[in-house]
Each structure stands twice: as structure tokens, then as C-alpha cells.
Amino acid sequence: MSRIAIIPGDGIGPEMCAVATRVLAELEGAALVTETFPWGSAHYLRTGRMMPADALETLAGFDAILFGAVGSREVPDHVTLWGLRLAIVQGFDLAVSLRPARLLPGIRGPLADRGPDDVNLVVVRENTEGEYSGIGGFTRRGLPGEVAVQTTVYSRDAIARTARFAFELARSRPARRLASVTKSNASLHASVLWDEVVADVAVGYPDVQWESVLVDAAAARLVLAPQEFDVIVASNLHGDILSDLTGALAGSLGMAPSANLSLDGSRPSMYEPVHGSAFDLVDRGLANPIGMVLSAAMMLEDLGRPESAGRVRDAVAAACAAGIVTRDVGGSATTEEVFEAIVRGV
């Protein structure tokens, strides 16, 4: 039996988590025990905190976390993100954000003449440091000479563990290719250290073909020739931006799953769709649940249930091939209709 903490969060998060939870119940029944925590912007407006002070202690007793979305019109974005999602990621040292992107049969991608064989890659994002280290501050606040300083932090250890994970992943995939994305022509210190550490790690993986690519060139190549990429490893900011692009190449951010991984298993990993709160879709029954459902499949895989994970992925692919998809990917189905098609397939 596995214990799953559900944090629906904001916007369409509760609707998406409800779909994923129902799919999990259909597959695993009593083998998965879930508990829902009503943390997020509504909790903040009531209490002044996005989650309770002892939230990490509570979550530490679970095997995994399923997370919906964060962000609200009523609460500033930096409060919602740092108060909930990043508080969990950094508090639990969830070292790697894993973001696969695959164009499924039946999904119309934005690139002409590109099909499923052309978009099948994964972004490995360093998840705890870089541009999102949270180090910095303001001076002369509110005055004409106000200054804000945001410090980027790269450490050899964090880069190395991210690179090793990415090379191991590339080694396990048929193409055995890896692109390390950086900006070392402009970032004289942090990106240069990234390049040096990745090159050191690469020595242990002679069977993986790898290259170092500047982030702007990588963005252009992803649009012009996505089939050239297999595994991309990148810093926190670069990986965040590029994984939105790769999600779009797979048809929509609504299709994009992700996992925030505890590499040593000492804390629960957290699984979430890449999309945000999508205020315009709340309570309309039109949001795309596939990214959330595929995130749940990643969770099942990591919990030692590969057969169930495969059934979910096959059911999602079958629903897409049959055209039972939401409007963001060219269909007309509702959230509930997509859920029903997936459940029929599992």
C-alpha cells in the first residue's frame, strides 16, 4: 500500500487532481491511500500562509505527492510559488525536475509536417538552485534609486547530480543522445562551471553522444529540428523555459507532465502537470487533464507499479488517437469526456 498526498492548489488544479485521483482509484483501488490537503491561495487568504508551518513534516510521512497548480489573481505570484510549490521542492531537496514531451498520435502539433516520431524528448532540469535560489534583496526600496539584486547560485554538487541523472536517462533510451544547455558565452562564471562539471561527468558515459548548446540556439533548433533532441539537461531557469517550449511542441502545455524527484528517496517526490492555474478555464469543464494524468503515471512508475503506469499511458494515447481531446489540442471533448475515454482504456 502507498500513501499519496494530494495538494489540488489553485485554479484548475482541483479539477485536474480529481480526474487523476479517479483514474488511480480505477487502477489501484485500495492499494493507494490518498489524503487531500486544501493548501494554496484560498488558505493564504484565510491564514496568511500558503500552507501550515508544519506542512513539510506532515508530507514527509507520504510516499508521493500529487500537485495540481498554484497561482491566483488575488495573491502575487511570488507569494504563491515560494509559499507552496518551491517551499516543498527546496524543503525536500527535490533535485531534478523531469519533464517529458511526446507528440501523441492524433494530436495536432504547432509545427507543420511534424509527427510523433519528431517530438519525443525529455528535459532534465536542475530544480533547487540556479536563478531560483531565492538569494538577493532590495535596497533603497520605493525610492527613485531602488535596486534589486537576484543572485544565481550554481554548485558543483547540484550540477553533477543533475548531469549524472541525465546521462543515466540518456543511456537508457534508444537514441543515447544528450544536449547540455547553457549560456556560457555570456554567463562567465555560473554557466562556465556548468559546462565544466557536465564535461567531467560525461567522461563516465562514453556510450552517450552529447553536445553543449547555447540556450538561444537550443530554442531555435527545437522549433526547426525537434527530432535532433533526445535528453536535454539544463539549469533551473533554462530548463523551466525550454520545457514550456517542448510542452507546446507536444501540442499544448495541457499535455505536459512532470516529476520533481527525491534522488535518494529520503523524501516523497512530487508529481504535477506543467500547466498553470488557467483562470479562464476554472469550473467550465474544458481543461485538459492529460498532463495531470500522465504525471500520475510517472508517479505509478516510481512507486514500483510499471504495469499500471503503462496502462495509463496506453489509454491516454488511445484517447488521443480517437480524437477524444480538449479544445487546446484541436478537439471538442470536455474534461469529463477525456476522463471517461481514459478509464475505458485502462
Number of continuous H segments (helices) and E segments (strands) in the chain: 12, 12
For residue 4, the number of C-alpha atoms closer than 13 Å in the C-beta half-sphere is: 26
Gap between the Cα atoms of 111 and 211, Å rounded: 24
Catalytic residue among 63, 154, 183, 230: 183
Q: Is 244 a catalytic residue?
A: yes
Determine the 3-state secondary structure of 180 from DSSP: strand
Strand order in the sheet with 2-9: 32-36, 2-9, 64-69, 269-273, 257-261, 96-102, 120-126, 231-234, 177-182, 209-214
Comparing CA positions, the residue from 325, 276, 274, 281 lying closest to residue 108 is 325
> 138 pairs with which residues across the strands?
148
For residue 268, the number of C-alpha atoms closer than 13 Å in the C-beta half-sphere is: 23
Catalytic residue among 10, 63, 230, 244: 244
Q: Is 54 a catalytic residue?
A: no
Catalytic residue among 77, 200, 216, 280: 216
Q: Is 77 a catalytic residue?
A: no
81: amino acid identity, one letter: L
Catalytic residue among 132, 154, 205, 271: 132
Catalytic residue among 10, 240, 302, 328: 240
Q: Is 44 a catalytic residue?
A: no
Q: What is the DSSP string of 231-276?
A: EEEE-HHHHHHHHHHHHHHTT-GGG-EEEEE-TTSSS-EEEEES--
Q: Is 118 a catalytic residue?
A: no
State in Å, rounded, how far the first CA of the chain is from the last one: 20
Q: Where in the sequence numbering do the catalytic residues fall?
A: 132, 183, 216, 240, 244
